[in-house]
């Protein structure tokens, strides 16, 4: 099965060959590297930009204003912060122009810790991203979802921020992408650039097909009755595992992979929390003014009398960065054990 | 060395200035160099040999860091093999000390040669790459080559490209203010790569340091290795040389063979002298090599490219300054030193989980909101 980098690559290929994408660009996005996580290898419209994040975002905005379709990349979200004013402008263009100018651009960027990336390759951007009205924000946890969300993002007439959980880029999926060859080796031989000289290399794209994950739709990855765990990105994998482990201990946890942060699947959260009466929101961005807090607030407002315990947010510690030594990284962002403890604490509350 | 603005010291591009002398202040001896290598003879022989010594020491250290990474004792390596002929002379010429009276160093992540030349013990660099609690630069928090030594005005090296250029404006402003009051003040020295010069911070530095009547003592250096990760210089730069951009601001600019420590030494010493005397910026571009690729992310394997140390060794052997046997011993000595240091570091303690809350605020107060 394809890994997430390959899935994104195939979606971008679909975008440039079927959906009119004219430019896929950013630092080291074009040949020979095809992106630091290889997500843009072999694409015919991929090119290397100057080392200038503001230039990347504003060029994307300009392409959008001109009516072209682009997918731009910020190499790591850690380096997106000096573009915040431009992101705000992309988000407010439709509104400020009284509905006259769409901003149909996709901006993708790897996020999160989990690869021993130290202070500047471990930042999260989800909480920040949800403070950019006008943008849709998505974050897949599987290759197939990455494929489907990228296609939806490209088709969407609004600016879409596609957050790539960098720790999952090499994780293989469990579901085939439409058109993907059955054999992993075959896919690799077709679309992975060779080590060494690549100057003559060209990918052989499988005939990948149309497949959309609608923006705004979550997915229940574990069904359960006792507690709802709402998460996204790499923490979906951790929460699934904890849910499996706790099942043997008699706790039945329902895990929701939000997939879209904005708009988010409120009806899925609502129905699940109504069923369980308990909810834990898990993500790794810093905890003070975290996106999970908004969701916890809404749960409190709309489902207060149906709750059996206080809604809880488990997020990254309120620290200025993620330290490189594992002792530091592990103390900074939620891991399986933290999730398990949090679930048990919420379960232990008596109304 | 092509000098484009300011006082021309060489008669024509490619010639070295005659007047410059070693930091020791001693007159150039010229004894051993012979007529064939006039430039070499212009520097004190002791200084020449010291430069070789430090270049080898810096490379041996970087190669140790790479080994430490490859044996799984570190998560990431980035560093400076190929930049020794620039970095070592710079380190020797810095006015080393704390506070605006001395030079500030706004380095990027290839600063090992400069710090080795300033006197950093190898073990400090190894503690950093191995994220030990004893790593004084970052306390085990940051990557290799992300140095910080306040006693020498080495401000924290950050990963975000190019911000060091705009931050240098601030330290240089503090230095200018003192200069205007006739107090002693140093220069704000910046290092960075070619690709990064596309960031706005590079332009900010040129603009802010060349304001008429408010010029700043900033030494903008660019180490041009022709690459930004996988992206070739020629595909991204309309300007022939990055340093050409300084001309529009009346900034004195140079392009230097940064693989030649003698040429680098002269260029840096004259640039610093000019800045110290005139309180004005200089922008000098050093053409250098990137010998182990960008970082461990691209494998950290030896790649093609001119090695400044091999070139210098050959030059010194040809000029009869040293023998090949001497060179071999030198490498052995520093290889041993680096191995011993790595062994020692391996046994040192690591940062604790609770230490994440340390130093967020002065005195570590108020860090965790659960506690107030
Ligand atoms: C603001 C920012 N964007 C992107 C990166 C990722 N990155 C790290 S090094 C690098 C290339 C730098 O090239 P150059 O400036 O020429 O310096 P060199 O590494 O060649 O010495 C990039 C893109 C970063 N560290 N900071
Ligand atoms: Mg470079």
Q: Cβ-count burial of A246 within 10 angstroms (0-12 exposed, 13-18 middle, 19+ buried)?
A: buried
- pLDDT higher than threshold 50 for residue A227: yes
Residue A183 C-alpha, separation from nearest chain B C-alpha, in angstroms = 28
CA of B94 to the centre of ligand 2 (A): 23
Question: Which tens digit of pLDDT belongs to each residue from B179-225?
Answer: 999 999 999 999 999 999 999 999 999 999 999 999 999 999 999 99
Q: Are A319 and B230 inside 8 Å of each other by CB?
A: no
What is chain B's mean pLDDT, rounded? 92
The partner residue sitting opposite A324, judged by closest CB among B75, B200, B230, is: B75
A330–B141 C-beta distance less than 8 A: no
- pLDDT for res B303: 96
Q: Which of A13-17, A287-291, B1-5, B273-277 has the lowest mean pLDDT?
A: B1-5
Q: Which helix (DSSP H) or strand (DSSP E) does residue A253 occupy?
A: strand A253-257
CATH superfamily of B30-349: Thiamin diphosphate (ThDP)-binding fold, Pyr/PP domains (3.40.50.970)
| pTM for this model (two decimals) | 0.94
pLDDT of residue B35: 52
All domains of chain A in start order, with CATH: 4-191 (3.40.50.970), 219-348 (3.40.50.920)
List the domain boundaries for chain B: 30-349
Q: Cβ of A120 and B229 within 8 Å?
A: no
Q: What pLDDT is stored for residue B3 in this prediction? A: 45
Alpha helices in chain A (DSSP H): 4-18, 53-65, 84-96, 126-129, 143-155, 184-191, 234-248, 266-276, 291-303, 326-332, 336-348
pLDDT at residue B4 greater than cutoff 90: no
State if residue B25 touches ligand 1 by the CB under 6 angstroms criterion: no
Q: Is the pLDDT of residue A199 over 50?
A: yes
pLDDT digits (tens, 9 = 90+) for A61-86: 999 999 999 999 999 999 999 999 99
Atom of ligand 1 nearest to the CA of A82: 1
């Amino acid at each position: 099965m394809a890994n997430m980098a390959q899935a994104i690559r195939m979606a971008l290929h679909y975008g440039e060959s079927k959906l009119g994408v004219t430019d896929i660009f950013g630092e080291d996005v074009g040949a020979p590297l095809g992106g630091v996580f290889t997500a843009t290898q072999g694409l015919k419209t991929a090119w290397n930009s100057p080392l200038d994040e503001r230039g990347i975002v504003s060029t994307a905005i300009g392409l959008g204003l001109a009516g072209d379709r682009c997918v731009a990349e910020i190499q790591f979200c850690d380096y997106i912060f000096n573009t915040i004013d431009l992101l705000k402008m992309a988000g407010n263009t439709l509104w400020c122009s009284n509905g006259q100018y769409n901003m149909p651009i996709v901006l993708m960027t790897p996020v999160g810790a989990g690869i021993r990336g130290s202070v500047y390759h471990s930042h999260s951007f989800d909480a920040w991203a949800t403070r950019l009205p006008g943008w849709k924000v998505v974050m897949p946890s599987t290759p197939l979802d990455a494929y489907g969300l990228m296609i939806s993002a490209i088709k969407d007439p609004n600016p879409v921020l596609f957050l790539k959980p960098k720790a999952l880029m090499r994780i293989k999926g469990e579901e085939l992408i439409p058109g993907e060859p059955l054999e992993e080796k075959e896919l690799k031989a077709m679309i992975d650039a060779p080590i060494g000289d690549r100057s003559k290399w060209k990918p052989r794209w499988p005939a990948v097909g149309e497949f959309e994950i609608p923006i705004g739709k979550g997915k229940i990855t574990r069904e359960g009755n006792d507690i709802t765990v709402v998460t996204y990105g790499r923490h979906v994998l951790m929460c699934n595992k904890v849910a499996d482990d706790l099942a043997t201990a008699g706790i039945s946890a329902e895990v929701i992979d939000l997939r879209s942060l904005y708009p988010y699947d409120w009806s899925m959260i609502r129905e699940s929390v109504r069923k369980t009466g308990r909810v834990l929101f898990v993500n790794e961005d810093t905890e003070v003014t975290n996106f999970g807090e908004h969701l916890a607030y809404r749960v409190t407002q709309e489902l207060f009398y149906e709750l059996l315990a206080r809604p809880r947010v488990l997020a990254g510690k309120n620290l200025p960065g993620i330290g490189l030594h594992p002792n530091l990284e592990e103390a900074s962002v939620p891991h399986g054990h933290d999730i398990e403890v949090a679930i048990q604490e919420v379960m232990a509350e008596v109304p | 060395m092509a000098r484009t603005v300011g006082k021309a010291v060489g008669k024509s591009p490619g010639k070295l200035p005659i007047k410059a002398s070693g930091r020791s202040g001693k007159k150039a001896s010229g004894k051993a160099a012979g007529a064939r290598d006039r430039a070499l003879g212009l520097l004190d022989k002791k200084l020449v040999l010291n430069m070789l010594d430090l270049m080898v020491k810096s490379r041996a250290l970087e190669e140790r860091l790479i080994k430490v990474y490859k044996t799984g004792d570190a998560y990431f390596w980035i560093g400076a093999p190929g930049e020794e002929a620039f970095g070592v002379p710079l380190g020797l010429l810095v006015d080393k000390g704390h506070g605006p009276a001395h030079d500030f160093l706004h380095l990027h992540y290839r600063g090992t040669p400069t710090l080795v030349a300033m006197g950093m013990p190898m073990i400090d660099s190894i503690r950093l790459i191995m994220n030990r609690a004893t790593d004084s630069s970052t306390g085990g928090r940051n990557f290799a080559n992300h140095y910080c030594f306040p006693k020498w005005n080495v401000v924290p090296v950050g990963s975000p490209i190019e911000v060091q250029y705009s931050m240098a404006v601030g330290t240089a402003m503090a230095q200018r203010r003192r200069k205007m009051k006739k107090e002693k003040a140093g220069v704000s020295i910046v290092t960075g790569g070619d690709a990064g010069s596309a960031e706005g911070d590079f332009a900010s530095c040129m603009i802010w340091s060349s304001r008429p009547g408010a010029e700043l003592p900033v030494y903008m250096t660019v180490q041009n290795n022709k690459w930004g990760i996988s992206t070739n210089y020629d595909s991204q730069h309309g300007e022939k040389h990055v340093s050409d951009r300084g001309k529009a601001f009346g900034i004195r600019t140079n392009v230097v063979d940064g693989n030649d420590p003698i040429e680098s030494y002269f260029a840096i010493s004259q640039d610093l002298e000019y800045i110290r005397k005139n309180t004005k910026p200089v922008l000098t571009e050093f053409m250098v090599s990137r010998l182990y690729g960008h970082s461990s992310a691209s494998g950290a394997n030896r790649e093609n490219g001119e090695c400044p140390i091999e070139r210098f060794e050959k030059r010194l052997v040809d000029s009869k300054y040293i023998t090949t046997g001497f060179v071999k011993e030198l490498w052995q000595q520093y290889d041993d030193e680096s191995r011993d240091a790595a062994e020692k570091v391996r046994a040192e303690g690591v940062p604790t989980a609770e230490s994440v809350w340390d130093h967020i605020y002065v005195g570590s107060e108020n860090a965790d909101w659960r506690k107030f």
